Chains A and B, each alone.
Chain A
């Protein structure tokens, strides 16, 4: 954008002074004549004058009290849970933002989330549990055990504290560290972000995973140990991060957070994606994808969404 000319700036300054004079109620008949002359003498002047009037209008159209309270606020960078309070896009999961302390005597408790929701809880020993979308756990503090019933849980266990995550295929023992455990169809997947985790299958030998590793656990034993997939642990921060990955990977993850149907044309899966996507507004993620990739979002309803290749129109 070109810098405004000196003349334009001078015109604005003069218009501002005229307006201040008029509003003071002290303008004489002579002043009004001079103002009229000033406006007529140059289109820049008239232009600046009109802009000044528009500016006044913008303020006069506001509900006074509300605008005053907002614009005249004491300067403080406080936080707002805006969308929620405005009653729009109630996808912001409240529970995610509050960490509740569990009393010691509540030695057993249930925690669950709906599709698209995430929640977290701090136990009295300092362990943090985060529950991903569509998940459920039973907590047995006395036995230092969390039973994963559905979905996915992330535990952040303080050093020198033990916690066992029980799954249908065995147990995952965590001693100080951050670990994600996710139930799949016939197995569960364990990802170790920090510390160590021991995978104990129902039958057979245990395997120890280190930070930056993941493996699946079946009734028959642990699968091969692989490098940690960043995409699968980002949800703890409320995001999905990808660096040059197939779109299919993103969509498979995204689908878990959406109530209803999300489908896509198979050929789209090969498109490459890089970026960080927020889980609290998956509609926006889809809109972002449509804006940056050759695909279109067809939404019959919010709960029935199909992604198709964008047609090449000659």
Chain B
């Protein structure tokens, strides 16, 4: 059977009606195109709809929407820059070592997940971690590259592991 969905909280239609156009215009100015803006504005309302915060408690709807929207926008930019770097890297590969289209997507999704996991690490910590994980570089070699002591590299590595593991808790 198909039960009707419970009626949404009375606040949502009003919130959507009153502020969607405004939010979309705001996003459009930052993104420079309408369809990404439309997507992000839908995502923003979706977040608001599914968040634990009761709509009735939102005193300043626009400020609240902006907070959510800005976070999504920053994720969006991060994702775009990741995609671009990925494409550039793919373009460098010789034809025969290109992954299949399906695999390209899966790989991209994995990279995106790991990118989010690493987000917030300081640059040298991130570099040390990637060199170790992806290039198999020893701490000594990393220490030379970063011009720091091996002890510091060990600390960086512990920091990076902790950061990623905490994010997944």
Q: How far is the CA of A66 from the CA of B94 in the complex (A)?
A: 12
Binding-face segment, A70-78, A250-258, A259-267: A70-78
From A79, A274, A279, A312, give the contact of B80 (CB < 8 A).
A79
A19/B158 in contact, CB under 8 A: yes
Q: How far is the CA of A51 from the CA of B37 in the complex (A)?
A: 37
Q: How far is the CA of A63 from the CA of B77 in the complex (A)?
A: 24
Q: What residues of chain B lie closer than 8 Å to A239, measured between beta carbons? A: 34-35, 38
Interface membership of B22, Cβ < 8 A: no
A68/B1 in contact, CB under 8 A: no
Query: Nearest CB to that of A280 among chain B residues?
Result: B35
Count of A interface residues, CB-CB < 8 Å: 61
B84/A78 in contact, CB under 8 A: yes
Interface residues of A in 52-86 (CB under 8 A from B): 52, 55-56, 58-60, 62-73, 75-80, 82, 85-86
Query: Nearest CB to that of B112 among chain A residues?
Result: A70
A76/B114 in contact, CB under 8 A: no
Interface membership of B56, Cβ < 8 A: no
Q: What residues of chain A lie closer than 8 Å to B164, measured between beta carbons? A: 55
From A70, A87, A310, A313, give the contact of B82 (CB < 8 A).
A70
Count of B interface residues, CB-CB < 8 Å: 65
Q: How far is the CA of A82 from the CA of B86 in the complex (A)?
A: 9
Interface membership of A237, Cβ < 8 A: yes
Interface membership of B14, Cβ < 8 A: no
B42/A68 in contact, CB under 8 A: no
A15/B165 in contact, CB under 8 A: yes
Q: What residues of chain A lie closer than 8 Å to B110, measured between beta carbons? A: 58, 62
Residue from A8, A86, A241, A294 with most neighbouring chain B CB atoms (10 Å): A86
Q: What residues of chain A lie closer than 8 Å to B20, measured between beta carbons? A: 276
B87/A80 in contact, CB under 8 A: yes
B105/A63 in contact, CB under 8 A: no
Q: How far is the CA of A313 from the CA of B115 in the complex (A)?
A: 44
Task: Give a binary string over B113-144; 1 marks a CB under 8 Å from any A CB, 0 the rest.
Answer: 01100100000001100101111101100000
A86/B139 in contact, CB under 8 A: no
Q: What residues of chain A lie closer than 8 Å to B168, measured between beta carbons? A: 51, 55
Chain A nearest CB from B158 CB (Å) reads 4
Can you list the 5 inter-chain pairs with the closest CB atoms, starting with the nearest?
A: A237-B34, A16-B161, A73-B85, A69-B89, A59-B133
Q: B residues within 8 Å of A by Cβ?
A: 1-2, 16-17, 20, 24, 33-35, 38-39, 41-42, 77-78, 80-93, 99, 101, 104-105, 107-108, 110-111, 114-115, 118, 126-127, 130, 132-136, 138-139, 150, 153-155, 157-162, 164-166, 168-169
